[in-house]
Copies of this chain bind each other. A is one copy, B any other.
């Protein structure tokens, strides 16, 4: 039977048809008023999504590139930073810090565990030389979302850096209200745009630290970006990814039309329905069962089932692309992404396909039980009524 392709991975994520269509528009020159108009609108919209008055710089790069840029722009070799590591991406930022010669204090947690912000405060109190603290908003590798408001409070004496690559525009993140200095994000998650754009918002305090920072840099240099943004109309320092920015313009307008608070609310429901669906079919969640976890739902592969086969079967038999586990969790967990352009029936289809695949793999499931549990979440909320 024909199966439609449904991308339910935690990134890249599906994009709205209007954003797809914009990807087929002709390429325009970037040093023109025409592109300047688009780019100015994008910059204003990004601020509204980041919930900040700070500049948000856009790079042709993945989130990892924008993150590396933050390290180059903020520090000098030998500087001390604190990195909260409770998953694959927290672990990556430890590696980036070390690659750039920083002294990294690592606050390590088991995958799936949340960061303890009392320990963040303690680690910073123990070493007043630490200049900045890094925390991941939504750990794509586990679905676990850290309490960033608490993190920003605990680390308020140093520059705070939040990796919001997965999460920004889905999980609640109030950059200015919570006092976060640097937020790194990417285009391919809740911003409903193809991968290839990295973003960074920079507070005044972070900009002052940047001015003292001696790490070599060029492509990601914030001073070069700031200078280009100050032009009329605003420009990027180097050739921008024109087509992706034109697509982003369409995507951000859709996001703002829905409303940032409504988008947060929708993601809470998507996460809740996914978790109820998983539990409803008799499986166990990986990580805490809480409404913060609104970007990715991770679940244990049940005993007797081959996790890689399960993910493959859901794709091959049903056309739905979910993700397996990363690193040590490969084959042991599976992950459903719902960060971005997702609605109730995307979740319902995915839960239904998971039930069908488990049945094919001789795991005892009662078809419809998980689906019903997911439906009840939407029914109670009145969203699909």
Cross-chain contact A242 with B12 (CB below 8 angstroms)? yes
Cross-chain contact A100 with B29 (CB below 8 angstroms)? no
Return chain B residues, CB-CB under 8 Å to A12. 27-30, 239, 242
Chain B CB within 8 A of A385 CB: no
Q: Known interface pairs A218-B96, A242-B12. Does A24 touch B21 (Cβ–Cβ under 8 Å)? A: yes
Return chain B residues, CB-CB under 8 Å to A63. 238-239
Cβ distance A317 to chain B, nearest Cβ, rounded Å:
15
Chain B CB within 8 A of A215 CB: yes
Cβ distance A80 to chain B, nearest Cβ, rounded Å:
16
Cβ distance A296 to chain B, nearest Cβ, rounded Å:
14
Chain B CB within 8 A of A13 CB: yes
Cross-chain contact A25 with B20 (CB below 8 angstroms)? yes
Cross-chain contact A28 with B5 (CB below 8 angstroms)? yes
Cross-chain contact A20 with B26 (CB below 8 angstroms)? yes
Cross-chain contact B62 with A238 (CB below 8 angstroms)? yes
Which residue, of A21, A27, A95, has the highest number of chain B Cβ atoms within 10 A?
A: A27
Q: Known interface pairs A60-B62, A68-B219. Does A26 touch B9 (Cβ–Cβ under 8 Å)? A: no
Cβ distance A234 to chain B, nearest Cβ, rounded Å:
17
Chain B CB within 8 A of A217 CB: yes
Chain A positions 25-80 with a Cβ under 8 Å from a chain B Cβ: 25-32, 59-65, 68, 77
Cβ distance A113 to chain B, nearest Cβ, rounded Å:
25
Size range of the chain A interface in the assembly: 35 or more
Cross-chain contact A242 with B61 (CB below 8 angstroms)? no
Return chain B residues, CB-CB under 8 Å to A240. 62, 195-196
Cross-chain contact B242 with A194 (CB below 8 angstroms)? yes
Chain B CB within 8 A of A15 CB: yes
For A8, give the chain B residue with the smallest CB separation. Answer: B29
Judged by DSSP, the binding face of A is: loop
Cross-chain contact A217 with B28 (CB below 8 angstroms)? no
Cross-chain contact A23 with B100 (CB below 8 angstroms)? no
A204-229 near B? 1/0 per residue, CB < 8 Å: 00000000000111110100000000
Return chain B residues, CB-CB under 8 Å to A27. 7, 12-15, 188, 194-195
A73-106 near B? 1/0 per residue, CB < 8 Å: 0000100000000000000000110011100000
Which residue, of A24, A63, A240, has the highest number of chain B Cβ atoms within 10 A?
A: A24
Chain B CB within 8 A of A244 CB: yes
For A102, give the chain B residue with the smallest CB separation. Answer: B216
Cross-chain contact A26 with B7 (CB below 8 angstroms)? yes
Return chain B residues, CB-CB under 8 Å to A20. 24-26
A216 to B242, CA, bound (A): 29
Chain A positions 170-202 with a Cβ under 8 Å from a chain B Cβ: 186, 188, 194-196, 198
Cβ distance A88 to chain B, nearest Cβ, rounded Å:
12
A316-341 near B? 1/0 per residue, CB < 8 Å: 00000101000000000000000000
A221 to B9, CA, bound (A): 26
Apart from A11-B239, A60-B61, A188-B239, what 7 extra A-B contacts exist at CB < 8 Å? A5-B28, A9-B29, A14-B26, A15-B26, A20-B24, A27-B195, A60-B65
Top 10 nearest A-B pairs (CB, nearest first) are A196-B241, A23-B23, A24-B24, A194-B243, A64-B238, A100-B216, A65-B219, A68-B219, A62-B239, A62-B238
* Contacts A/B (CB < 8 Å), 10 sampled: A20-B26, A21-B24, A27-B188, A32-B321, A61-B65, A64-B219, A68-B218, A194-B244, A195-B239, A195-B242
